[in-house]
Amino acid sequence: MDFRYLGNSGLKVSEISYGNWLTHGSQVENDQAKACVRAALDAGITTFDTADVYANTKAESVLGEALEGERRESLEILTKVYWPTGPGGPNDVGLSRKHIHESINGSLRRLKTDYVDVYQAHRYDTETPLEETMEAFADVVRAGKALYIGVSEWTAEQLQEGHRLARELRIPFVSNQPQYSMLWRVIEAEVVPASEELGIGQVVFSPIAQGVLTGKYLPGQQPPEGSRATDANGSNFVKRFLTDDVLNRVQELKPIADEAGLSLAQLAVAWVLQNPNVSSAIIGASRPEQVVENVKAAGVKLEEGLLKQIDEVLGSVVERDPAKTEQNAPQTRPGS
């Protein structure tokens, strides 16, 4: 496993991290989930990403149990706050001072730890003053409950304003967690340049485009039984890629992956790691062998000619519109 600095901070993270969105506490039984975490640890992964909203807090609990007994100083644990949790009352959502303080306490209890390495705003809260949010995060850091602050799916402008306030409050704002893959490149035009200027690193999710870049979804055929596309929670995230045009082009990537000595999934993970602003790529798994396979993308260097071949094959199916970051974010607090 190779390690990278998280933005301009002194914190190193494994360049492949393990996340439990849509798996732990929902799709995958606890014993299997723990086996996946063990496979990640055995593969050299030290960075684990979760969120309070995943399986309505159950995912954090499963991860906490799976990591219990590990040397805490050898791990980097990331979690998030924003989406509705618990019964979904009016203050069970958002980035208010109340919700942030109550949420970090709940996350620490479920994760069985005194602190998280990075506490992340899971989306931008349009209904809470940013000053209130950042002051609450500053208190969390000063209380020793989080070492660094990050966000997820913020626009370049939101990153700039949040970073300015973090500097004034003297707290380390070091990361952004966006969706990023060969098929979804909306961060490249604005978010990445702003992040490079601010010293913010990307911890990217869905590098395999919710499984589409494994090649298992075939044009003109029904999705495989048990796949993300057949899951009630996951299907909303993957359906944008399930067109024959996209799926045909993904199949055309196979000779390129073969040339690189990689599976399609390994090629996809290696591809996002070629971006120097990416500190880590999050992989998920429902089986330990998926972790073992995908982690082989660590340390892979893709030649410029091969990257050009990928661009030529995918062509117009790649989404690059930077406006998608804001368009896909909630404009009002959900469920409150």
- Report the catalytic residues: 54
- Crossing angle of helices 97-111/58-67, nearest 10°? 40
- Beta-carbon contacts of residue 157 (< 8 Å; ≥ 6 apart): none
Query: How far is Cα 59 from Cα 62, in angstroms, rounded to an integer?
Result: 5
Measured CA distances, 223 to 90, 217, 220, 235 (Å)? 38, 6, 9, 10
Residue 306: both structure tokens together = 């091969």
Cα–Cα distance list, 38 to 67, 160, 325 (Å): 8, 38, 34
Please count the CA atoms within 13 angstroms of the CA of 162 that sit on its side-chain side. 34
* 150 bridge partner residues: 120, 175
CA dihedral 136, 138, 141, 145 (to 10 degrees): 0
